[in-house]
């Protein structure tokens, strides 16, 4: 296995020029490489990982049941990513299914319903409990009025890595059976145009991840598992004049990660 420092140099070779901000944290066991890992950026849909974790935490405490069913009225449908607003007829979902939709197709309507179900204060308390000091959940998804007033969801690579550690390392927050459920959802991710563009189609590599994007921002947080190692990568980027360029950068970084995993 090549040194992580070689991966660092490879990623640096494709690093864009300012004003684009690049932040990343890559960890394998006790080794890691980092760049601007504590810089706070708009989280976009990466914030959904924190909602996912808090849901399983609250269920484990006995505060809620993810098997409970709910129908989402038309007045609560929002645009952006997802499929719920485009389905015909009245649909009923369990909150477990909403979690799956929130991650697998990044459904914003499902996300907002989950924020209501879990409780904004409970999610914020969970974020603080796991010591993610620079992660802020300030508003629901696609809430234009909240955005106009300056409310924004934010996070850092460092905080997201704490969450990925929670999904993969033994801890007193999420027991193993909860970790397995979380990873099963992340493994079914349908958006694979960034860090996992190469590895998600290789049967020797398992990928568990969540992407995020807003105008000018492109993010990905991924766990790569081979028979020999577990590699965790958080990459947050912002300032792109064209989001397509941001996706191309993530793909280039992902190609280097893929070569590293196969070395």
pLDDT tens for each residue of 208-242: 999 999 999 999 999 999 999 999 999 999 999 99
- pLDDT above 70 for 97: yes
Q: How far is it, in rounded angstroms, from Cα 60 to Cα 55?
A: 9
Cα separations in angstroms, 256 against 183, 212, 236: 23, 20, 17
Given a cut of 90, whether residue 3 has pLDDT beyond it is no
What is the pLDDT averaged over residues 28-34? 95
pLDDT band at 138 (very low <50, low <70, confident <90, very high): very high
pLDDT tops 80 at residue 78:
yes
Domains and CATH numbers, the chain: 4-262 (3.40.710.10)
- Compute the distance between CA of residue 208 and CA of residue 220 in angstroms, rounded to an integer: 11
Q: 2 falls in which pLDDT band (50, 70, 90)?
A: low
Do residues 22 and 237 touch, judged by C-beta distance below 8 A? yes
How far apart CA 26 and CA 7 sit, in angstroms, is: 9
pLDDT at 175 over 80: yes
Q: Using CB atoms within 10 A of its CB, is residue 226 exposed (0-12), middle (13-18) or buried (19+)?
A: middle
Question: What average pLDDT does this structure show over 16-34?
Answer: 96
33: its two tokens:
């490489």
Strands (E), the chain: 21-28, 31-35, 41-42, 69-71, 92-94, 154-155, 206-214, 217-225, 230-238
pLDDT reported for residue 121: 97
Contact 135, 98 (CB under 8 A): no
pLDDT band at 115; cut points 50, 70, 90: very high
Contacts of residues 123-127 at CB distance under 8 Å and 24 or more positions apart, as own/partner, are 123/50, 123/51, 123/54, 126/50, 126/53, 126/54, 126/57, 126/58, 127/50, 127/54
Q: How far is CA 216 from CA 21, 41, 52, in A?
A: 10, 11, 25
Residues 68-89 have a mean pLDDT of 94
As a whole number, mean pLDDT of residues 102-121 equals 98
* Torsion sign across C-alpha atoms 257, 162, 240, 15: negative
- As a whole number, mean pLDDT of residues 171-193 equals 98
Q: How far apart are CA 35 and CA 235, in angstroms?
A: 9
Mean of all residue pLDDT scores within the chain: 96
pLDDT at res. 206: 98
What distance lies between CA 88 and its chain's CA centroid?
28
What pLDDT is recorded for position 1? 55
Q: What pLDDT shows up at residue 150?
A: 87
Return the pLDDT at 146. Answer: 87
**pLDDT score of 89:** 87
């Amino acid at each position: 296995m090549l040194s992580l420092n070689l991966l660092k140099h490879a990623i640096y070779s494709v690093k864009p020029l300012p004003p684009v901000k690049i932040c990343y944290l890559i960890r394998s066991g006790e080794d890691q490489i980092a760049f601007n890992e504590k810089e706070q950026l708009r989280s976009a849909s990466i914030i959904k990982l924190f909602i996912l974790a808090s849901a399983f935490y609250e269920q484990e405490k006995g505060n809620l049941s993810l098997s409970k069913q709910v129908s989402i009225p038309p007045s609560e449908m929002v645009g952006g990513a997802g499929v719920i607003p485009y389905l015909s007829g009245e649909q009923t979902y369990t909150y477990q299914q909403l979690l799956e939709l929130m991650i697998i197709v990044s459904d914003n309507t499902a996300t907002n319903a989950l924020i209501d179900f879990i409780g904004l204060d409970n999610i914020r308390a969970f974020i603080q409990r796991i010591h993610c000091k620079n992660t802020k959940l300030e508003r629901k998804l696609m809430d234009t009025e909240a955005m106009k007033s300056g409310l924004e969801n934010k996070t850092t690579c460092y905080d997201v890595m704490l969450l990925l550690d929670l999904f993969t390392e033994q801890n007193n927050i999420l027991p193993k059976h909860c970790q397995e459920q979380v990873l099963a959802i992340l493994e079914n991710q349908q958006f694979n145009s960034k860090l996992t563009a190469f590895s998600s189609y290789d049967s020797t590599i398992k990928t568990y991840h969540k992407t995020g994007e807003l105008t000018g921002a492109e993010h990905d947080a991924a766990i790569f598992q081979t028979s020999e190692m577990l590699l965790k990568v958080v990459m947050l980027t912002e300032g792109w004049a064209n989001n397509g360029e941001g996706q191309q950068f993530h793909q280039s970084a992902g190609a280097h990660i893929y070569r590293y995993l196969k070395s």
